[in-house]
Every structure is written in structure tokens, then in C-alpha cells.
Amino acid sequence: MTAKVAINGYGTIGKRVADAVAAQDDMEIVGIVKTRPSFEAKIAQDKGYALYAAAKENIEDFKKSKMEVSGTLDELLDEAEIVVDATPGDTGEEYKKLYEKHGVKAIWQGGEEHELTGFSFNSEANYSEALGRDFTRVVSCNTTGLVRVLYALDTAFGVKKARVTLMRRAADPNDIKTGPINALIPDPIKLPSHHGPDVNSILPHIDITTMAVKTSTTLMHLHALNIELKKKCTEDDIVNVLKERPRIRLVSSKDRIKSTAEAMEFAKDLGRPRGDMWENVVWKDSIAINKGELYFFQAIHQEADVVPENVDAIRAMLEIEKDGASSIKKTNKALGI
Ligand code: NAD
């Protein structure tokens, strides 16, 4: 028996999670939900996903585009055990009521607040706490990237204090509505940014403060990290810890990966679907211990890093796999990480 998964909100994150779920042998997509016809909806049908309209009033639009729909979200929820909600942030409360009515478990994304589910998820840091839960939030791309490295370093050496500057991509590559194209925007100007408290929704004991700048790029986020560790260690010790983690990829400028552009090209050359980089890209040669503190750079592919975490969250919530490390291994193997 494979777990029956619905995807509500088939955009940047939703379409990637759908393909990642379909690649697993213990879960299947029973349907995806779109509000209106589009090239994405057409391709989803070509891939064999059953297409559902978000509401009855959307069905006419699909008919006009000569697209068959299998029904509405309401009907899909009768078929599904769990729904991955990748709608834009702030629709959470409304949809939560609907999922509750149908007795379907649900996973939201980082655009929703922690309070919606009361539980925020990261595969390595708190898989066991997600076992059997009805509602979970997979934290944002930036928070996922930060939790991965902080959890690894905290487990090995103890994190005393983390100070991080995030240089955020302003828009996704398919986004024609947002900018800036000619500016760097301190965002938010009032510090600190929300990313630190978001990390604390998973790792509450870590002293972390963050600030963020919106940059004129679509490719990746770049994090500059400064961390005080409890135990004394060398740069080699840090490399040895990070290289063992399942979703951290160490790269080197010596291999001509000196920027987010080359990191994305690397993912494409690896033959990844949509050129996705699911792992944190940590520059090995940026790792420095200076005056007793650790410094390094990492790049985060915002469209991709939360995707394997959604797959693991499904396994935990449906208790298909009790052990987090086994789920991560399974997800990674199916995706080719
Ligand atoms: P998106 O705009 O690319 O996709 C959202 C999809 O939901 C679209 O297809 C849209 O048509 C559909 N939709 C809109 N309203 C809907 C409704 N009422 N019912 C059903 N479907 C509806 O957005 P995204 O970037 O995939 O973001 C989805 C979630 O993932 C957000 O919470 C976001 O914060 C989070 N997230 C985004 C990124 C990123 O970089 N794009 C990274 C991590 C997490």
C-alpha cells in the first residue's frame, strides 16, 4: 500500500514536491490542485497527475481551455490521506478548516506562521517529533538551510551563538512581478529579521540573530555565517562534520564554483530535474576559524531545498518510517542526492 498524497497549490514548490513524492516507492500522488488552466496544469496532466480545480467556480475556466478536471479540491480530499499545501502564504487558516473537515493530515510551507500548526519540521533536527502528527509546517528555504548547518554543528561542538547575514534572492526565476532590478534592499530595515526566531521554532536553545538584504538576483540565497562554538575545533573538524551530513554539499572555489551562478550550473550539469540543488552548498574553502569564531558562506537554492523535507514529513506524519535517518536515506536515494 502506498500513501495517498494530494498537492494543493501546484506552483514553484508544489510541482517539485509532486515529482519528489512520485519518485518514492512508498507514496503516490492522487491529485494536484490548480486554480486556473496554465502550461503547468497541462504538463501535470501529461505526467499522469489527476488535475482538480480549487473550487467549483474554477471548473468553467478549465472547460474553456479544453482541459478535463477530475473534480474539486473537496472531492480530492476524500481520496487523500495527506495534503501538501504549497499555496501562497496566508491561506492556511481557511484551508486548515477544510482539511480538518475531511480528516486529512496536512503539511504547510514556510509562508505560513509556526502558530498555524504549532509544530515546525526539519528532517534531521526533529523527525521523531513529527511522528503521527496531523499538521506540520516545513520551514522556509532559508530556515531549512540554517537549521541543517546549525543542527550539525550544535550536535558536534555545541553552538554558543550564531550571527547570520542573509543575502536573499529577490524573486524566483519564473517571477515577473517582483524586484528590485537596480538596488539592494535591507529587508527588513528594523532588525533583527524573522529568520532567527524561525530557526528557534525548531532549535529553541540556539542563540541566533539574523539580518537580511534583498538582492537583484533570482538564483539562490547566500548566507554569511559567524558562529561561536562551545568546543574548540579546527577548520578540518568542521569540514569533517559537514561532509557527513546527508543534505550538505561541500564545494570549492578551486573547482571553479565561486558564485551562486556556478553552483546552479553545477546542479544542471549533475542532471538534476529543473536544475534543482536540494542540498546546502557550503564553500569548503570559506570555512575559517578566526579569533576563535567560525565563519563560512553557504548558498541555498530556494526553489528546491525544502522539497526532500516535505517527503520526509509525509513519512513521519503517516508513520510509514519511524526512523528519521532511514527516511532521509530513502528520500535521498530516490531523488539521487
Ligand atoms: P507559487 O506562487 O509559485 O505557487 C503557489 C501556487 O498556488 C500557484 O500555482 C497558485 O496558482 C496556487 N494558488 C494560489 N491560491 C490558491 C488557492 N487558494 N488554492 C489553491 N491553489 C492556489 O508559490 P511558491 O513559491 O511555490 O510558494 C508556496 C509556499 O512555499 C509559500 O508558503 C512559500 O512561502 C513557500 N516557499 C516558497 C519558496 C520559494 O522560494 N518559492 C521556498 C520555500 C518555501
Residues forming a β-bridge with 335 = none
What are the domain boundaries of the chain?
3-139+306-335, 141-300
According to the annotation, is 12 in a ligand binding site?
yes
**141-300, what's its fold?**
Dihydrodipicolinate Reductase; domain 2 (3.30.360)
User: At 258, is the pLDDT very low, low, confident or very high (cuts 50, 70, 90)?
Assistant: very high
DSSP-H helix ranges across the chain: 12-22, 39-46, 59-64, 73-79, 92-102, 123-126, 141-157, 195-200, 235-243, 260-269, 307-317, 324-335
Residue 24 CB partners (closer than 8 Å, separation 6+): 311, 330, 331, 334
The model's confidence at residue 323, banded by pLDDT at 50, 70 and 90, is very high
CA distances (Å), origin 265, targets 55, 74, 132: 39, 41, 39
Q: How far apart are CA 42 and CA 67, in angstroms?
A: 8
**Best mutation site among 8, 10, 13, 264 for ligand 1 pocket (most ligand atoms within 8 Å of CB):** 13
Question: What residue ranges line ligand 1, CB within 6 angstroms?
Answer: 8-14, 33, 35, 54, 86-89, 91, 109-112, 140-141, 172, 302-303, 306
Query: What CATH fold (topology level) applies to the domain 3-139+306-335?
Result: Rossmann fold (3.40.50)
- Residue nearest atom 1 in ligand 1 by C-alpha distance: 11
Tell me how crowded residue 69 is: count the other CB atoms within 10 A of its CB. Answer: 21
The mean of the pLDDT values for the chain is 97
**250: which strand partners?**
282
Report d(CA 54, CA 33) in Å as an integer.
Answer: 6
Residue 12 CA, ligand 1 centroid: distance in Å:
6
Its ipTM equals: 0.99
For residues 274 and 248, what is the distance between their CA atoms, to the nearest angstrom?
A: 19
| Annotated binding-site residue? 326 | no
Q: Does 233 qualify as catalytic in the annotation?
A: no
Q: Say which DSSP state 115 is in.
A: G
pLDDT digits 0-9 by tens, 235-245: 999 999 999 99
> Can you say whether the dihedral through the CA atoms of 214, 216, 217, 223 is positive or negative?
negative
Averaged pLDDT, 4-20: 98
How far does the centroid of ligand 1 lie from the alpha carbon of residue 304, in Å? 13
Binding site annotation covers 196?
yes
8 is in an annotated binding site: no
* Catalytic site residue from 18, 141, 170, 281: 141
**Ligand 1, atom 20, residue with closest C-alpha:** 9
Is the dihedral angle over the CA atoms 308, 310, 311, 315 positive or is it negative? Answer: positive
Q: Cell numbers of 40, please?
A: 503547468
Question: From atom 14 of ligand 1, which residue's Cα is the shortest distance away?
Answer: 87
Q: Give CA 287 to chain center in angstroms.
A: 24
Q: What percent of the chain has pLDDT over 70?
A: 100
